[in-house]
Amino acid sequence: MTAATAPLPRVVVLDYGSGNLRSAQRAVARAGAEVTVTDDLDAAAAADGLVVPGVGAFAACMAGIEALRAGPVIAERVAAGRPVLGICVGMQVLFEYGEEHGVVTKGLGLLPGGVTGLAAERVPHMGWNTVAPPPGSRLFAGLPADARFYFVHSYAPTDVAGLAAAGALPTTAEHGGRFVAAVERGPLSAAQFHPEKSAEAGRVLLHNWLATL
Protein backbone atom coordinates (compact mmCIF):
# COMPACT_ATOMS: atom_id res chain seq x y z
CA MET A 1 0.00 0.00 0.00
CA THR A 2 1.44 3.35 -1.02
CA ALA A 3 1.52 6.11 1.59
CA ALA A 4 -0.45 9.23 0.71
CA THR A 5 1.64 12.08 -0.63
CA ALA A 6 1.67 15.12 1.63
CA PRO A 7 0.14 18.20 -0.01
CA LEU A 8 2.55 20.88 -1.12
CA PRO A 9 2.64 24.06 0.97
CA ARG A 10 0.65 26.93 -0.53
CA VAL A 11 2.73 30.05 -1.16
CA VAL A 12 1.63 33.46 -2.43
CA VAL A 13 4.03 35.79 -4.23
CA LEU A 14 2.58 39.22 -3.49
CA ASP A 15 1.93 41.29 -6.61
CA TYR A 16 2.06 44.95 -5.60
CA GLY A 17 3.58 46.11 -8.87
CA SER A 18 7.25 45.33 -8.23
CA GLY A 19 9.57 42.36 -8.36
CA ASN A 20 10.55 39.44 -10.52
CA LEU A 21 7.17 37.86 -9.95
CA ARG A 22 7.24 35.00 -12.45
CA SER A 23 10.87 34.04 -11.84
CA ALA A 24 10.16 34.00 -8.09
CA GLN A 25 7.06 31.91 -8.70
CA ARG A 26 8.97 29.36 -10.78
CA ALA A 27 11.86 29.16 -8.31
CA VAL A 28 9.63 28.60 -5.26
CA ALA A 29 7.60 26.02 -7.19
CA ARG A 30 10.81 24.16 -8.14
CA ALA A 31 11.77 24.15 -4.46
CA GLY A 32 8.55 22.31 -3.64
CA ALA A 33 5.45 24.50 -3.28
CA GLU A 34 2.17 25.33 -4.93
CA VAL A 35 2.67 28.99 -5.84
CA THR A 36 0.23 31.73 -6.82
CA VAL A 37 1.10 35.28 -7.90
CA THR A 38 -1.69 37.60 -6.78
CA ASP A 39 -2.60 40.98 -5.31
CA ASP A 40 -5.45 39.36 -3.33
CA LEU A 41 -4.82 40.23 0.31
CA ASP A 42 -7.13 37.49 1.59
CA ALA A 43 -5.05 34.93 -0.30
CA ALA A 44 -1.87 36.54 1.04
CA ALA A 45 -3.20 36.27 4.59
CA ALA A 46 -4.35 32.66 4.21
CA ALA A 47 -1.32 31.15 2.45
CA ASP A 48 1.10 28.91 4.28
CA GLY A 49 3.92 31.22 3.19
CA LEU A 50 4.06 34.74 1.75
CA VAL A 51 6.87 36.01 -0.50
CA VAL A 52 7.33 39.78 -0.69
CA PRO A 53 9.47 40.52 -3.77
CA GLY A 54 10.86 43.89 -4.81
CA VAL A 55 13.21 45.52 -7.29
CA GLY A 56 14.14 49.13 -7.96
CA ALA A 57 13.71 51.96 -5.49
CA PHE A 58 12.72 51.58 -1.82
CA ALA A 59 10.25 54.48 -2.08
CA ALA A 60 8.53 53.03 -5.15
CA CYS A 61 8.16 49.62 -3.51
CA MET A 62 6.70 51.16 -0.36
CA ALA A 63 4.30 53.19 -2.48
CA GLY A 64 3.11 49.99 -4.16
CA ILE A 65 2.67 48.22 -0.84
CA GLU A 66 0.76 51.16 0.60
CA ALA A 67 -1.45 51.49 -2.49
CA LEU A 68 -2.42 47.84 -2.12
CA ARG A 69 -2.78 48.29 1.66
CA ALA A 70 -0.63 45.21 2.10
CA GLY A 71 1.45 46.46 5.03
CA PRO A 72 -1.00 45.38 7.75
CA VAL A 73 -1.38 41.93 6.18
CA ILE A 74 2.39 41.41 6.20
CA ALA A 75 2.65 42.66 9.80
CA GLU A 76 -0.29 40.55 10.99
CA ARG A 77 1.24 37.42 9.47
CA VAL A 78 4.50 38.03 11.31
CA ALA A 79 2.69 38.78 14.59
CA ALA A 80 0.72 35.53 14.22
CA GLY A 81 3.86 33.49 13.53
CA ARG A 82 3.02 32.88 9.86
CA PRO A 83 6.07 32.78 7.58
CA VAL A 84 7.04 35.70 5.34
CA LEU A 85 10.05 35.85 3.00
CA GLY A 86 11.27 39.21 1.66
CA ILE A 87 13.52 39.25 -1.41
CA CYS A 88 15.85 42.09 -2.48
CA VAL A 89 13.94 45.38 -1.96
CA GLY A 90 11.24 43.15 -0.46
CA MET A 91 13.76 42.60 2.33
CA GLN A 92 14.68 46.28 2.59
CA VAL A 93 11.08 47.47 3.11
CA LEU A 94 10.84 45.26 6.21
CA PHE A 95 13.16 47.71 7.99
CA GLU A 96 12.21 50.99 9.66
CA TYR A 97 13.32 53.26 6.83
CA GLY A 98 15.25 53.52 3.59
CA GLU A 99 17.42 56.47 2.56
CA GLU A 100 18.01 57.01 -1.17
CA HIS A 101 19.54 60.17 -2.69
CA GLY A 102 19.04 62.01 0.61
CA VAL A 103 15.34 61.13 0.80
CA VAL A 104 14.17 59.04 3.76
CA THR A 105 11.13 56.79 3.25
CA LYS A 106 9.38 54.99 6.09
CA GLY A 107 9.42 51.19 5.87
CA LEU A 108 7.22 48.54 7.45
CA GLY A 109 9.23 48.59 10.68
CA LEU A 110 9.22 44.83 11.21
CA LEU A 111 13.02 44.81 11.59
CA PRO A 112 15.09 47.44 13.44
CA GLY A 113 17.33 49.91 11.64
CA GLY A 114 17.50 51.40 8.19
CA VAL A 115 18.71 50.83 4.65
CA THR A 116 21.43 53.10 3.29
CA GLY A 117 23.86 53.27 0.39
CA LEU A 118 26.68 50.77 0.15
CA ALA A 119 30.09 52.14 1.12
CA ALA A 120 31.81 50.79 -1.97
CA GLU A 121 33.70 52.27 -4.90
CA ARG A 122 31.80 50.05 -7.32
CA VAL A 123 28.02 50.40 -7.10
CA PRO A 124 25.73 48.67 -7.75
CA HIS A 125 26.97 45.48 -6.19
CA MET A 126 26.14 43.18 -9.08
CA GLY A 127 27.13 39.55 -9.38
CA TRP A 128 27.94 36.49 -7.27
CA ASN A 129 29.15 36.69 -3.69
CA THR A 130 29.63 34.44 -0.71
CA VAL A 131 27.85 35.07 2.59
CA ALA A 132 28.55 34.41 6.27
CA PRO A 133 25.49 32.95 8.01
CA PRO A 134 25.39 32.76 11.81
CA PRO A 135 25.23 29.53 13.80
CA GLY A 136 21.68 28.25 13.95
CA SER A 137 20.60 29.61 10.57
CA ARG A 138 17.80 27.56 9.05
CA LEU A 139 17.87 29.30 5.67
CA PHE A 140 21.47 28.31 4.99
CA ALA A 141 21.35 24.81 6.50
CA GLY A 142 23.25 22.28 4.43
CA LEU A 143 24.92 24.87 2.21
CA PRO A 144 28.73 24.94 1.93
CA ALA A 145 30.68 27.93 3.19
CA ASP A 146 31.66 28.83 -0.38
CA ALA A 147 28.06 28.87 -1.68
CA ARG A 148 27.51 31.93 -3.86
CA PHE A 149 24.37 34.00 -4.31
CA TYR A 150 23.43 36.56 -6.94
CA PHE A 151 23.19 40.20 -5.84
CA VAL A 152 21.99 43.33 -7.67
CA HIS A 153 21.70 46.31 -5.28
CA SER A 154 23.13 49.68 -4.29
CA TYR A 155 21.61 49.86 -0.78
CA ALA A 156 21.51 47.56 2.23
CA PRO A 157 21.08 47.49 5.99
CA THR A 158 24.36 47.39 7.91
CA ASP A 159 23.45 47.34 11.63
CA VAL A 160 24.35 43.73 12.34
CA ALA A 161 24.64 44.32 16.10
CA GLY A 162 21.22 45.98 16.26
CA LEU A 163 19.58 43.05 14.52
CA ALA A 164 21.30 40.54 16.79
CA ALA A 165 20.25 42.54 19.86
CA ALA A 166 16.65 42.37 18.61
CA GLY A 167 16.81 38.58 18.51
CA ALA A 168 17.42 38.25 14.78
CA LEU A 169 20.00 36.09 13.00
CA PRO A 170 21.73 38.34 10.46
CA THR A 171 23.79 36.84 7.64
CA THR A 172 26.46 39.15 6.28
CA ALA A 173 28.41 39.69 3.08
CA GLU A 174 31.22 42.04 2.02
CA HIS A 175 31.23 44.67 -0.71
CA GLY A 176 33.19 47.77 0.23
CA GLY A 177 32.35 46.87 3.83
CA ARG A 178 30.09 44.49 5.70
CA PHE A 179 26.34 44.58 5.04
CA VAL A 180 23.32 42.46 5.92
CA ALA A 181 22.73 39.86 3.20
CA ALA A 182 19.88 37.99 4.92
CA VAL A 183 17.89 38.02 8.15
CA GLU A 184 15.94 35.45 10.12
CA ARG A 185 13.73 36.29 13.08
CA GLY A 186 10.93 33.93 14.00
CA PRO A 187 8.51 33.63 11.07
CA LEU A 188 10.24 36.48 9.21
CA SER A 189 12.99 35.65 6.72
CA ALA A 190 14.60 37.91 4.15
CA ALA A 191 17.37 37.90 1.57
CA GLN A 192 19.06 40.88 -0.08
CA PHE A 193 20.25 38.62 -2.91
CA HIS A 194 17.98 36.89 -5.42
CA PRO A 195 17.47 33.22 -4.51
CA GLU A 196 15.56 32.77 -7.78
CA LYS A 197 18.71 33.75 -9.71
CA SER A 198 21.16 31.88 -7.47
CA ALA A 199 21.11 28.45 -9.13
CA GLU A 200 21.36 25.42 -6.82
CA ALA A 201 22.28 27.46 -3.73
CA GLY A 202 19.12 29.51 -4.19
CA ARG A 203 17.01 26.37 -4.64
CA VAL A 204 18.38 24.90 -1.41
CA LEU A 205 17.70 28.13 0.48
CA LEU A 206 14.11 28.28 -0.80
CA HIS A 207 13.64 24.59 0.05
CA ASN A 208 14.90 25.33 3.58
CA TRP A 209 12.41 28.19 3.88
CA LEU A 210 9.55 25.97 2.69
CA ALA A 211 10.51 23.46 5.39
CA THR A 212 9.60 26.10 8.02
CA LEU A 213 6.01 26.43 6.74
Among 128, 180, 123, CA closest to 154 = 123
Distances (CA, A) of 205 to 28, 106, 184, 185, 189: 10, 29, 12, 16, 11
Active site residue 194: yes
Active site residue 196: yes
Among 9, 50, 12, 51, CA closest to 33 = 9
**What is the SS3 assignment for 74?**
helix
Give the Cα separation of 62 and 18 in Å (integer): 10
* Among 125, 153, 175, 194, the one annotated catalytic: 194
> How many other CB atoms are there within 10 angstroms of residue 30's CB atom?
14
CA angle 189, 194, 196 (to 5 degrees): 100
* Among 88, 125, 153, 184, the one annotated catalytic: 88
B/e letters for 176-194, b = 16+ CB within 10 Å, e = fewer, are eeebbbbbbbebbbbbbbb
Q: Which helix (H) or strand (E) holds 30?
A: helix 21-32
> How many other CB atoms are there within 10 angstroms of residue 2's CB atom?
4
* Among 125, 153, 175, 196, the one annotated catalytic: 196
Catalytic residue set = 88, 194, 196
